[in-house]
């Protein structure tokens, strides 16, 4: 799915196109991890914004749906921030300006995010062995400790914890 969408060149001249694309792909992976744990289907969050079933919504509606989809987490999580603006830009197809303001193709976003539950387009590949659900999700095998980005902050936080109780 990622190969079919090109990041727009005119969004922000100060930001590299590949940086925006990388931010969008990382955000998709983080959303996949969250919805896989909660067994949430992404398309349900967009239904109220698209009563005609066009498959498009505005940037603000897209941001609201993503925010609701990952609740109780927020978009500004310190360990795994999600950039809804980069996601929205990534899922705006070329030539969508004529449909303004509903220019974000949320169906493609849902298709990409829901691949955590199934492998799409298996019909042309009858010999393909699909991976188990969630095999591509970050941390799907359980907790895996990662090194801290700020060891001093981690040390201060650990010092505030009460000592373990001995029985």
pLDDT in tens, 80-131: 788 888 899 999 888 766 677 888 999 999 999 988 887 777 788 888 887 7
Bridge partners of 57, per DSSP, are: 104
**Sign, CA torsion 73/22/25/53:** positive
The mean pLDDT of 39-46, rounded to a whole number, is 89
Question: What's the rounded Cα separation, in Å, for the pair 113 and 101?
Answer: 23
Question: What's the rounded Cα separation, in Å, for the pair 139 and 69?
Answer: 19
**104 token code pair:** 């974000």
In 3D space, the residue among 98, 83, 80 whose CA is nearest the CA of residue 30 turns out to be 80
pLDDT in tens, 5-25: 444 444 445 556 667 788 888
């Amino acid at each position: 799915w990622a190969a079919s969408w090109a990041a727009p060149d005119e969004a922000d001249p100060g930001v590299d196109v590949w940086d925006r694309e990388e931010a969008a792909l990382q955000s998709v992976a983080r959303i996949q991890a969250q919805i896989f744990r909660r067994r949430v289907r992404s398309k349900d969050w967009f239904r109220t914004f698209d009563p005609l079933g066009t498959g498009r919504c505005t940037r603000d509606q897209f941001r609201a749906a993503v925010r609701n989809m990952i609740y109780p987490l927020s978009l500004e999580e310190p360990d795994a921030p999600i950039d809804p603006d980069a996601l929205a830009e990534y899922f705006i197809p070329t030539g969508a300006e004529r449909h303004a303001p509903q220019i974000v193709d949320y169906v493609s976003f849902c298709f990409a995010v829901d691949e955590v539950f199934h492998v799409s387009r298996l019909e042309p590949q009858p010999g393909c062995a699909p991976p188990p659900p969630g095999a591509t999700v970050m941390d799907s095998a359980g907790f895996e400790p990662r090194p801290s980005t700020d060891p001093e902050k981690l040390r201060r936080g650990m010092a505030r914890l009460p000592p373990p109780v001995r029985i």
